[in-house]
Chain A
């Protein structure tokens, strides 16, 4: 059974720092990997999706990388801002069946201090 782990569970950084969030998964036969952001009491916002054939995806100050063979993904946030404070979740898609299902990590709660 696929397991997804995110370490650390919480992270606090001063504004302006570059930071890396980590995601690891046990089954490397994934179809894609998705990073989400969740603000308190809200739903999830999709940030980036990396297909299994890709190594990285970029959107603005965010860059996500994928290393399938080692079962790892990282989300790099450049020049962090207080507005980046949220919980970040990664989810892997095993790509089996007619409707892909995601397996989620437990998230990293990020606080960016002004």
Chain B
């Protein structure tokens, strides 16, 4: 079974802090994704990566950056956290280039910015 592990289930940080959310997958997947999920807005893609050191902006990249130094790990960085970044953050991975494979999700990190 594919396992996508997010480092924290719950995280509380203060405005202006630099925040790191970590995601690790154990299936040698090429593609990894970061989403945020908010009531009434659904899941929105922040960034994705299709290979080591490669990254692409999703629909809402402002205020975020990412890092993919190793294939199994994809980090989301909030450069200077703000209260409007309080949300549920979900990481996902998918194997293959053909695309006909499901995305697998981690359990999420509920981040609160005070």
Contact = CB atoms under 8 A, between A and B. Distances in A.
Interface of A: 31-32, 34, 36, 41-46, 49, 51, 89, 91, 93, 95, 97-102, 104-107
Given A36-B105, A44-B103, A51-B100, 16 more contacts: A32-B99, A32-B100, A41-B110, A43-B4, A43-B6, A43-B107, A44-B90, A46-B102, A89-B43, A91-B43, A97-B56, A99-B48, A101-B58, A105-B42, A106-B42, A107-B42
Size bracket, chain B contacts: 20 to 34
B99 A42 contact: no
16 contacts: A31-B99, A34-B102, A34-B103, A41-B110, A42-B107, A43-B90, A44-B105, A45-B105, A46-B105, A49-B101, A51-B100, A98-B97, A99-B56, A102-B45, A105-B42, A106-B40
A41 B42 contact: no
Contacts, number: 60
B42 A46 contact: no
Contacts of B48: 99, 101
Contacts of B50: 98-99
A102 B107 CA distance: 18
Contacts of A31: 99-100
